[in-house]
Structures are given as structure tokens and as C-alpha cells.
Amino acid sequence: MTGKLRRLLLARRGGRSWHWTDVASYAYLALGVLLMFGPVLWLALSSFKTPAALLEFPPSLLPMAQSEVSVPGYPQPLPLFRVTMEDGSVRELAQVRRVGILAQMVDPKTPSQTIRVPTDRRTPVRHMALAVENYTDPLTQFDFLRFLRNSLVVTVVATIITLLINSMAAYALSVYEFRGKKLAMLGVIGTLMIPITIILAPVYLVVTKLGFVDSLWAVILPGAATPTGVFLLRQYMLTIPRDLIEAARMDKASEWRIYARIVMPLSMPALAVLAIFSVMWRWNEFLWPLAVLTKTEVHTLPIALNAFQGELQTQWHYLLAMTVVTLLPVALVFAFLQRFITSGIANTGMK
Amino acid sequence: MTDTMRSHGEPARGPSAAAAAVTTGGANALMRLTDPPMRAVQRLIGAARMPYVFLLPNLVFFGLFVFLPIGINIVFSVTGGTALFPAERPYVGAEHYARLLDCGSYLEAASCREDLFWRGVGNTLTFTVFQMVAMVLFSLITALVLNRPIRGRGFFRAVYFFPVLLSPVVVALIWKWILQRDGLLNAVLTTAGGEKILFFVDPGWAMFWSVFVSVWAHMGFYTLILLAGLQAIPRDVYEAAEMDGTRPWRVFHRITLPLLWPNLLVVLVLVLIRSVQVFDEVFVLTGGGPGTATMMVVQYIYTTAFANQVQNFGLAGAASVLLGVVLFVLTLIQLFLTRRRAS
């Protein structure tokens, strides 16, 4: 398709292959790639840096760490430097200690002899080092696994409930004619206008009354019925041939059986779109969990990240690594379902 | 709906036959478990009343978590005290509304009794205006570029789209890391001979980056809507214009823009609705600061109801009702526009 259009364009322009607008387009796209991917790439690279490397300014692109050597006679490994000697030769020396602008150094090969070197004549020897402990430490030091588990539970359970009750409502609103149908539709449209942002405190009251405060149910339940989901599924179910349903009724299938064994399987594509939406909403949800989950044990990942970055001494090395972990599932889902998601959104105009 | 969504009759295929068998087995077991009680219900009330049964769970959720809260919110807004339960709250009439709307001059937040609320309103307005312009401009340009016959269109579309899926907290942290004092951007600035800028200490910069980051995060979504609109424009219209030798700018002005206008309008209203409610990214990025320079209306509501020492549900409720009225009007406009686009 693209190739054909291109040939069409080239033919029109009488063999000139590059119009200035083509150049401008590709330049714009290249800049876009840098601006959109760059920050995420920078996050990923930074998340593998040691705390010391994170403090460096200007920062190095790749996660680097200073090389160290064990020198006989010294209990600790010593940092390695490249030193320009007075005669102009360059040697690799290990630093024992630094006093003012002078550094005491030893050659690892001849450890008995110390050399004094001005500090401005040495540059650290560095190698690429991935600080994997940024990822492994939070697992043991903080309740990171618990946050991960909380987020997973909320996402999975909420998505299942959403799919079930939204599809039931959509089934009722698409297959049947009944008294009050218009009113029910109006109710669904009405909820579209009431984002949780403007009813935070009252929903909090309802959740308290139900006894869900500081449990994951407080996050799972309030958003489970979505007007978006009902609309999406209803629109799709309307296209299911009525004959199929009539035939099933002839065979004495119950209405529930028709819903569960005929309409649901046929609505799989729409259910899949809603499932992806729901997973996205739940995994990323922030304001409501922030308001209702006050205990650390029930924090979901975004809330935990926010709490963590708000602390006085932000431990960026851990924070960056946890951010990557939070981002990873979404990135994977997107990588595999990209076309599906984009066409789903383009065609429904929802997110 | 997409092409894939139009085709019916294909059962869900599992990754393998074994998995499919397990799924079918599970579905069968579930059916055996749920069908008898539902069948009994149907016998009891008759098939004609079954739609109510199907509607019930969803409506219970809507009732409990949307409609009931709207009512409680209104009660909150006309009662005082710190109690959460409406029955324990004394009636105060329109006091909260009067407090929110009591201003020497509406153009000067400092002259208002509840100056924080008006600062929030002012910041949200500033944010909304800049964000709408930037969002529409960049998503339109991107959609126009992506609509050209370029190589790797799918890849580029994905590049612009993927931040839409990221959590607002993740988005904010990514940029916070870049914009901090010793961050990547300041490194680039100093290497280029400039000086470090403390982006989150300067009110102007803080607002700029709030707008920038939210455009970065969401423009892919609007680009998709506009791209779909562009691709729906019949090709022969362009071919006819080309035959007549119409200049490209005139083609854009006289063909593309008018035909895209309905989509553009929907995007405008959607951006408007979302930016009036902006909270997540800005809150994590700047915390509303410096001072109150990027504190938005929703943050004011959240703080008043939850984060302050004294939880003032009445005042937060009144502010919510005011915000709700604005959103209600905006959503009506959106529904009207969407319906017109559909017909």
C-alpha cells in the first residue's frame, strides 16, 4: 500500500524522489522518536546506575562504575585511575587515599611503592556496570512484592468483574425491548458525565459504610461498572444476528444460557478491547487509590511510587528501578497488541 | 468497529488444543453451576422480565458508586462540621458556596476569601488554554505527517501513541528525573554553554513543563482520532483538486480542514474535559508547586477533603458540585458533537 502510493507520488513528480515536504516529514518523525522514546530509554539506562553514578554531573549515558582492584596489603579493593606521569607516560594506578590535591597511589603490580600524584592528573578507569541490586534490593528491603501483588490483584479482579457486569448490562440493553430501557440508557450516559474526581468524598463515605476502607475492594469495586464498557459492548452486540438468539429460544435455552453460550463467545473481540482498556485503567489508576488507600500494606504500585518519591531523601536508584517495573507490563502488552489497541481506540474514540 | 470485530462466529482459540479443552471444560462447569439458578429465576419472573436481572448488577454499582454519591455530595455541600456521615452534619445552607464565591474581584485570587480555590481555578484555566492549543496543534501536525505515504507508518504511530498507556505517575517520574537540578536537560544546557535552570522553583517553568508533560503523554490518543478522520476523507476529492492544480495550502485550507472539522471539534472538547480535571501528572511532577503555582482545582478538592489536617468535606463538596456543573455542560456539548459526527 505504502509502496504503491509512493510510486504514484514519484511518477507524478517526474522522477524527483524527494520533495522538501518529505524531508520535513521525516525530520519531524525523527525528532518525535527522540522526544517520545528518549525519556523512557533514559529512565531505563538510569535505573541500572549505582547511587554514586546517579549523582554524577554531567551524567554519563550508559551505567558506568569505577573499576576497582584488590592490591596485596590493602584490605579493601582500591579504585583504579589512569594517571599521566610527569614524563608523559600513562599508567594505571590504584588510589590508596587522597589528601587535598595530592593522591597517594600504588601500582597494583608493585604494591610496596607508593606514588604521589596531583589529583588533576588522574582520571577514573570505568567500565560498564549494571547495578542490578536496584531491582533486587527493593524486593527484600521494601514491600515491593506486596505492591506488585496488590496491583495485580486489583487489575485482574476488577477486570473480571467489569467484563461480567458490563456485558450483562450490554446484553440487556441490546437484545431486549423492555419498559424503562430508555431510562436505563440515560442512566448509563449520565454516569459518563460524573468522573470520580468530583465525587471523591461521598464515594469514600459509601466505601466506609460498606466496610471496605483500606482493603483492595475499595479500589476494585467503585470503578467496576463503566459506562464506556457498556456502550462498547452494546454497540457490538447489536450486530449479532437476531436469528441465532431466536433459534436458541426455540431450543428451550434459558436467557442466561443464550447470554453465556451464544452472545458472550460472539462478542469476544469487543470483550478483548474492553479487557485491555480495563487493565490499562486499573494498572495506572491514581487519584482514587491515593484517597482511599491510606495503609501502606494495601498500596498499589502507582501509590507506592508516589509515596516513595515524596520522601525527603528520595532514593532515586530504587525509585527509577521500580518505575521501570511498573512500566514493563504495559510496555509488553503494547508491544504485542499494538495494532489491536490503536484500531480499537481509533474506532471507539475512547480510552 | 474494526474489521476483526465485524466477523462473528469464530470461537476464541486458545494457544493450544489442551488449553482450549480446559477453557471449554471450565465454561461448561461454570454453566452447570450458574444455569439452574438463573433458569429458576426465569421461571419465577418470566422471560420478559429477565433483562432487569441482567441490568441489575451494573445498576447497583452505578447506584452505589455514582448516583448515591452525587446526592451525598450535594448534602455535603450544604452541611458543615467534620463528620463524614450526613446525619451527623449540621445544615449550613449555602455557606460553603458563599465562601467559595466570595471575592473582591474574580480576576484577583488574593482578593477572595477562599483564595486557594481561585488560584486553582486560575491555574486550571491557564493550563487548559495552553494545553488545548499545544495538544490540538501537535496532534494535528502529527496526524497530517502520519497520513502521508511514509515508510514505517505503523512504527511511528506506535512511537507517538505508547505514552498514552503509561501510568501518569510513571510519566511524571520519567520527566521529573530529566528535569531535576542535576538531570539530563540541565546537563545538555550546561554542555551547550548555558546555565542550570531550577525548573520546579520557577512558577513559569513549572507550568510550562506541566503542560508539556501532559501533551507528551496524551497527544498520541488525539493523533489517532485525527488520523482516523483524515483517512476517512475520500481520496478522489484530493485527486480532483490535484487535477485542477490547486496549491497544497489551499487544499489543506479548503478540503482537509473542513472535512476534518467534526473530528477536530470532538478532540477539542475531549481535551477541554480532560484538562479541566487535570490532576495526576501535575501533582506527581510538581506537587502543585512552587507554592501554589501549579495547584489545580482537583488538587484543591482532594487536599480540602483528604490531605488537610481538618477534613472539610463540605467545602470540597461545594467545589465538586461547581466543577461537576462545568463538566456536565462540557460533556453535553461533547455528546451533541459526537452524535452529529455519527449521523
| C-beta separation of B156 from B223 below 8 A | no
CA A270 to chain centre: 24
pLDDT at A59: 80
pLDDT of B109 > 90? The answer is: no
CATH class of A135-348: mainly alpha
pLDDT at B101: 86
Residues found in chain B? 343
**Nearest C-alpha of chain A: how many angstroms from B176?**
10
Q: Determine the CATH number of domain A68-124.
A: 2.30.30
Nearest CA in chain A to B305: A201
Minimum-distance CB partner of A268 among B12, B30, B161: B12
CATH 3.40.50.720 is right for the domain spanning B105-342: no
| C-beta separation of A165 from A224 below 8 A | yes
Contacts of A330 in chain B (CB under 8 A): 165-167
pLDDT at A29: 92
pLDDT at A347: 63
Q: Cell 494457544 sits at which residue?
A: B15
The SS3 of residue A125 is coil
pLDDT at B20: 62
Contacts of B64 in chain A (CB under 8 A): 206, 210
Contacts of A268 in chain B (CB under 8 A): 10-12
Answer yes or no: do B35 and A178 touch at CB < 8 A.
no
Minimum-distance CB partner of A199 among B69, B176, B227: B69
User: How many CB pairs (< 8 A) connect A and B?
Assistant: 323
Nearest CA in chain A to B51: A172
| C-beta separation of A172 from B52 below 8 A | yes
Provide the 8-state DSSP code for A259: I
Q: Which amino acid is at A79?
A: P
Q: How many CA atoms lie within 13 A of A295 on its CB side?
A: 10
Radius of gyration for the alpha carbons in chain A, expressed in angstroms and rounded: 30
pLDDT at B214: 95
Q: What are the structural domain ranges in chain A?
A: 21-63, 68-124, 135-348
Confidence of residue B312 (pLDDT cuts 50, 70, 90): confident
Distance, CA of A152 to CA of A137 (rounded, Å): 20
Residues of chain A numbered 53-92 and touching chain B (CB < 8 Å): 55, 57-59
Partners of A94 in the β-ladder: A80, A106
pLDDT of B217 > 90? The answer is: yes
Distance, CA of B321 to CA of B305 (rounded, Å): 13
pLDDT at A348: 60
Nearest to B314 by CA among B76, B73, B75: B76
Q: Tell me whether A178 touches chain B (CB under 8 Å).
A: yes
CA B114 to chain centre: 27
The separation between the first and the last C-alpha atoms of chain A, rounded to the nearest angstrom, is 28
Q: Cell 482459540 sits at which residue?
A: B13
| C-beta separation of A347 from B228 below 8 A | yes
Q: What are the structural domain ranges in chain B?
A: 19-64, 105-342
Write the CA distances from A140 to A133, A284, A342, integer angstroms. 10, 24, 38
Q: Tell me whether A203 touches chain B (CB under 8 Å).
A: yes
Query: Splitting chain A (351 residues) into consecutive groups of 10 residues, what average pLDDT does each group show?
Result: 54 56 88 92 89 78 78 80 80 81 81 79 78 80 85 95 95 91 86 80 90 90 90 88 90 90 89 87 90 89 85 77 88 79 65 54
The SS3 of residue A102 is strand
Query: Other CB atoms closer than 10 Å to residue A109's CB: what's the count?
Result: 9
pLDDT at B331: 81
pLDDT at B4: 38
Q: Which three cell numbers stand for residue A223?
A: 470503578
pLDDT at A258: 92
Minimum-distance CB partner of A172 among B55, B72, B151: B55
Minimum-distance CB partner of B61 among A165, A195, A331: A165
Better pLDDT: B7 or B280: B280
Q: Tell me whether A240 touches chain B (CB under 8 Å).
A: yes
Nearest to A60 by CA among A72, A68, A52: A52
Provide the 8-state DSSP code for A70: -
pLDDT for B139-160, tens place per residue? 999 999 998 888 888 888 888 9
Answer yes or no: do B167 and A208 touch at CB < 8 A.
no
ipTM beyond cut 0.85: no
Distance, CA of B164 to CA of A68 (rounded, Å): 43
Q: How many CA atoms lie within 13 A of B1 on its CB side?
A: 21
Answer yes or no: do A173 and B69 touch at CB < 8 A.
no
